[in-house]
Amino acid sequence: MLEIKTAKTRKGKRELEKRAPKLVESGKKTLILHGTKTSGVLNAVLAQIYHLKKDCAVKYSRRNENVKPFEAGGETSLEFFSLKTDCSIFVYGSHSKKRPDNLVIGRTYDHHIYDLVEVGVENFKPMESFSYNKKLAPKEGSKPFIVFIGEGFEAVEELKHLKEVLLDLLRGEVVENLNLAGVDRAYVCAALSPNRVFFTHCALRLKKSGTVVPRMELEEVGPSMDFVLRRHRPPNESLRKEALKTSREKPKKKEKNVKKDELQGKIGSIYIPDQKVGETPLPYKAKGVKRERRESKRKNESDGSASKRKKEDS
């Protein structure tokens, strides 16, 4: 495992603070990695998933012989990579005669395996096979709509689990307010049967509708594929309860250069740049200059009146 070290620089401290637990967590990063053997189809699938999540994903290109998520001891390397890259979701691809074009999607809690879903990929179509207006291509980092079609996502336990994992994988960072201009894509998942799901990626076109809410049209831009459910491992109940715990405390706004003392209370530091008074330019009609002129004028008038009195007396 990674050796735990204390940060020696301010940059290192900031990096550790980013990875520390927070009341409001930031967006989840995705780790994409290959197994001992992969097929051409699976390599293309992993590359397309990385392309869709490029802004918050880490992709490993080397083969990983020690990673076997469903086997005892096979998750150690995976947890190590999760800790190293600070990724809480992973997509692992492998290919064998028993399980061809195999994809394992899983989540981690505290950098330990939380749950796993294994699917087989069939009828894969890459982005390049779709013809559409390139101006409609979704932009990197845009927020998606995620559509789940079919009663199976509410009735079948395996599909319920797959829905949870896909939501975490595809939704990106959670935001409070949403700008419609930034929503330009939709992921569509349709339950064709209790063990098969059709997945596709569509561009979203907003058109005038005569109301505040625009009319929306979907245009398939790819990739698209069928997920065939194989194995799944849900989290145990105690771990699930621990992971779903939320704090009642609201996150406090950070105050810079402020500290609290038991005796003096709130103490703040104010930073003022060096003031070079000698180099400060004075205005053309400065008040101090006017005052000096008035004083000299009064002095001259008083001297003149005194000399006149002397002459009159003489």
Domain assignment present for 127: yes
Peptide bond into 223 cis (omega under 30): yes
pLDDT at 154: 93
Can you give the pLDDT at residue 105? 96
pLDDT at residue 21 tops 90? no
Give the chain's domain count: 1
Whether 268 shows a pLDDT value over 90: the answer reads: no
Question: Pick the residue with more confidence: 29 or 290?
Answer: 29
Assigned token pair, 63: 């083969």
Return the sign of the alpha-carbon dihedral for residues 8, 26, 234, 145: negative
pLDDT bracket for residue 198 (50, 70, 90) = very high
Span 88-144, pLDDT tens digits: 999 999 999 999 999 999 999 988 999 999 999 999 999 999 988 887 788 877 889
pLDDT at residue 102, rounded to an integer: 96
In a domain, 290, yes or no: no
pLDDT for 266 equals 85
State the CATH number of the domain containing residue 41: 3.40.50.10480
Q: How confident is the model at residue 291 (pLDDT cuts 50, 70, 90)?
A: low
Q: Which CB contacts under 8 angstroms, 24+ apart, belong to 35-38? A: 35/63, 35/64, 35/67, 35/92, 35/93, 35/94, 35/95, 35/102, 36/63, 36/64, 36/65, 36/94, 37/63, 37/94, 37/95, 37/96, 38/63, 38/93, 38/94, 38/95
Please report whether residue 129 resides in a domain.
yes
Verdict on whether the full-model pTM lies above 0.85: no
CA-to-CA separations, 216 to 127, 156, 185, 203, in angstroms, rounded = 21, 30, 11, 10
Domain assignment of residue 255, yes or no: no
| Residues 45-81: tens digit of each pLDDT | 999 999 999 888 999 989 998 899 998 888 899 999 9
- Residue 314: pLDDT band with limits 50, 70, 90: low
As a whole-number percent, the residues of the chain with pLDDT over 90 amount to 43
Is-contact 114 85, C-beta < 8 A?
no
pLDDT value for 81: 92
Closest CA to 37 of 81, 87, 92: 92
Between 26 and 124, whose confidence is greater? 124
Return the half-sphere exposure (C-beta side, CA atoms, 13 A cut-off) of residue 208.
1
Residue 10 within a domain? no
Residue 60 has a pLDDT of 94
- Token pair for 240: 């699930």
| 109: CB partners within 8 A, 6+ apart | 88, 235, 239, 242, 243
Q: Collapsing DSSP states into helix, strand and coil, what is residue 176? A: coil
**Domain with 194 in it:** 24-236
With 0-12 / 13-18 / 19 or more C-beta atoms within 10 angstroms meaning exposed / middle / buried, residue 307 is exposed
200 found inside a domain: yes
Residue 166 placed within a domain: yes
CB-CB contact of 198 with 220 (8 Å): no
